[in-house]
Amino acid sequence: MSAGNMRLTLKVWRQSNTNTQGGFENYNLDGVSPDMSFLEMFDILNEQLIEENKEPVAFDHDCREGICGMCSMFINGQPHGPLKGVTTCQLHMRSFQDGDTITVEPWRAGAFPVIKDLVVDRDGFDRIISAGGFVSVNTGNAQDANNLPIAKEDADDAFSAAACIGCGACVAACKNASAMLFVSAKISQLALLPQGQAERSIRAEKMVAQMDAEGFGNCTNTHACSAECPKEISFENIARMNREYLGAKVSSKAL
């Protein structure tokens, strides 16, 4: 092992498919550079397993730039690991010590069934977006920004909400497996902008209804979702979503 490199024990969840019972397997890994990302470390593990004629660990990854939200790993009891405001692919091995045992699990939520090993089915998020997280009406051609005035506070809040990458860390962090931070971010980003006004009420009703249909739990008000979110989406979005939903239900009854 080169100077400065680490020797680690990885305790990794292995599960063949949704219908089989999973369990942890231990792997010893030498020569881990502190400069490696967590996913690069898993690449090394899989290369080692392949050389040993063993099945590599299945895990989600795509951009590896903190943008796509695919790299969903529960690391030592925390979604995306010990650092605040980063995804798993942005976590580097310098955050760990030589000789550490690192426990890696998939998201734990009934609405996110395990597909294989560390890969979970997050199609429920896609179905929530399909229920209303879009603008379907004709809002006209793109205009000069000066012709569509938006209060700076609203623009900033909409931009912050739109930063949500749909990784599911909020669900994994919540003891009720609530998706309210994700849903509220998607509702907020459109509710705060002029383009989203035409479908504002129906959007909130449909997305919340789909969230419930998917089996996600209710908000616990512990703020664990916001604390573990790699994009630090504000908990205030949930309050906004509740107001949007209540307003939509009142409007529906008035009609």
Average confidence (pLDDT) per 10 residues, the chain, 255 residues: 82 97 97 97 98 97 94 97 97 97 97 98 98 86 76 95 97 97 97 91 95 96 96 97 93 64
pLDDT of residue 239: 96
Is 160 in a helix, a strand, or coil?
Answer: helix
CA distance 106 to 2: 31
Look at the chain and count its residues. Answer: 255
The strand pairing partners of 102, in sequence order, are: 10
pLDDT of residue 3: 59
Q: Is 85 left (phi over 0), alpha (psi -120 to 50) or beta?
A: left
pLDDT of residue 82: 97
pLDDT of residue 141: 75
Single-letter code of the amino acid located at 22? G
The number of CA neighbours under 13 Å toward the Cβ of 41 is 30
Q: How far is CA 100 from CA 37, 80, 124, in A?
A: 16, 17, 35
Domain with CATH 3.10.20.30 in the chain: 6-115
Domain with CATH 1.10.1060.10 in the chain: 122-254
CA distance 127 to 66: 23
CA distance 71 to 80: 8
Q: What counts of helices (H) and strands (E) characterise the chain?
A: 8, 7
Residue 42 sits at φ, ψ, to 5 deg, of -70, -30
- Token representation of residue 147: 């012709």
**Homologous superfamily of 122-254:** Alpha-helical ferredoxin (1.10.1060.10)
Three-point CA angle 168, 105, 93, nearest 5°: 95
Per CATH, the number for 6-115 is: 3.10.20.30
- Tell me how far the alpha carbon of residue 230 is from its chain's centroid: 8
- Tell me how far the alpha carbon of residue 95 is from its chain's centroid: 21
**Pairing mode of beta strands 78-79, 74-75:** antiparallel
pLDDT of residue 75: 98
pTM (two decimals): 0.93
